[in-house]
Structure 1
Amino acid sequence: MLYQLMYSSQSTFAPSMDAMALLLDRARRQNAARGVTGVLFSVDGVFVQILEGERDVVRRLVEHIGKDPRHDGLTVVMERPIAQRVFTSWSMAWINPDASEVAAWARLDGTTGIQQVLARLQQNPARLPAVMEHIVAAIGDSAGGAGQV
């Protein structure tokens, strides 16, 4: 069963661009080997990741991520079966929005802070398709090497 899961976690470190590049390179290789696609972004020290793949594979991966000392307080925002992938070409895309952009994507203008945006998305998952559309557009709009650090 094809599955999609979105989680957030507090970063326990302030990653440099080099550290993020290494993290993304490793994630891309491992995700490709597992048949996992998705996107990662970080806002105000909070990682947000959307993963797609076979249900058991995605759940095991999130369990593994939850044990990583670079993450604290991993919270599943949304998980659901899906008919098709949203991030078909990305073993791990990277975007760098700010909290106000994510709030606007979810049509939550005036919402402050990424944690508040995520809490409201969790309460109202009907807003998630709009967020996904904006994320896909942001990936596509990244000039030359989209999703690269």
Structure 2
Amino acid sequence: MLKTICYTSEVNSSLKLMELEALFNQTQSKNNIHNINGVLVKRNNLFFQVIEGNPIIIDTLYEQIKKDSRHSNIIEFLNKPITKLSFKSFKIGYSVVKDIDALYSLQSYVLELEKNNNKNSALFLQIIEDLLSDK
């Protein structure tokens, strides 16, 4: 059994560039060790993250994420069991998206949300569009 959690949050405005880089590196390293797949995007003052993997590990990680002072105002889009990994094809299993082209690889995840008529899909799709735009 697998699980996915998808959320967005506001970046703490006091975070410095080096702290953000450290966060991205720490996220990638820890999640690769724990076989967590997913993606982390930061655009302007917004984090967008998808994590997927073993339900116990995902739930534990998400509880830590919710307590992390580096962000606030978490909006959860998905928190449910899944049958297959959406981000398994990403380079190392867990990717930090640093350029606009890599955001297009989220397309299958977005299409799956839309296909399943997820109650938050409209908001989720709007956030993806915002991340892809040059605002």
Q: What interval of TM-score do these two structures reach, taking the shorter chain for normalisation?
A: 0.5 to 0.7
Aligned to 1:142: none
Aligned to 1:124: 121
Identify if the C-alpha distance between structure 1 residues 52 and 11 changes in structure 2 by more than 3 Å, giving closer, same or farther.
same
Unaligned runs of 5+ in 2: 112-117
Aligned to 2:97: 94
Identify if the C-alpha distance between structure 1 residues 124 and 25 changes in structure 2 by more than 3 Å, giving closer, same or farther.
closer
After superposition, the C-alpha distances for 1:57-103 in whole angstroms (9 at most, x for unaligned) are 11111110111111112221112222221211432332445xxx89x
Query: Aligned-pair RMSD on alpha carbons?
Result: 3.1
* Percent of aligned pairs sharing the same letter: 22
Which portions of structure 1, spanning 4 or more consecutive aligned residues, are displaced by more than 6 angstroms? Answer: none
Report the Cα distance in structure 1 between the residues aligned to 2:37 and 2:69, rounded to whole angstroms: 23
After superposition, the C-alpha distances for 1:21-51 in whole angstroms (9 at most, x for unaligned) are 2111111111112111110112331111000
Aligned to 1:9: 9
Q: How does 1:129-148 map to 2 (within 5 A)?
A: none
Report the Cα distance in structure 2 between the residues aligned to 1:78 and 1:50, rounded to whole angstroms: 9
Unaligned runs of 5+ in 1: 108-120, 132-137, 139-149
What SS is found at the alignment partner of 2:93?
Answer: coil
Report the Cα distance in structure 1 between the residues aligned to 2:99 and 2:6, rounded to whole angstroms: 16
Q: Structure 2 length as normaliser, TM-score?
A: 0.66
Larger relative contact order, structure 1 or 2 (CA cutoff 8 Å, min sep 6)? 2
Q: Structure 1 length as normaliser, TM-score?
A: 0.61
Aligned to 1:21: 21
Identify if the C-alpha distance between structure 1 residues 94 and 124 changes in structure 2 by more than 3 Å, giving closer, same or farther.
closer
Cα offset, 1:15, TM superposition = 4.5
Aligned residues: 112
After superposition, the C-alpha distances for 1:116-138 in whole angstroms (9 at most, x for unaligned) are xxxxx75337x87xx7xxxxxx9
Report the Cα distance in structure 1 between the residues aligned to 2:66 and 2:99, rounded to whole angstroms: 22
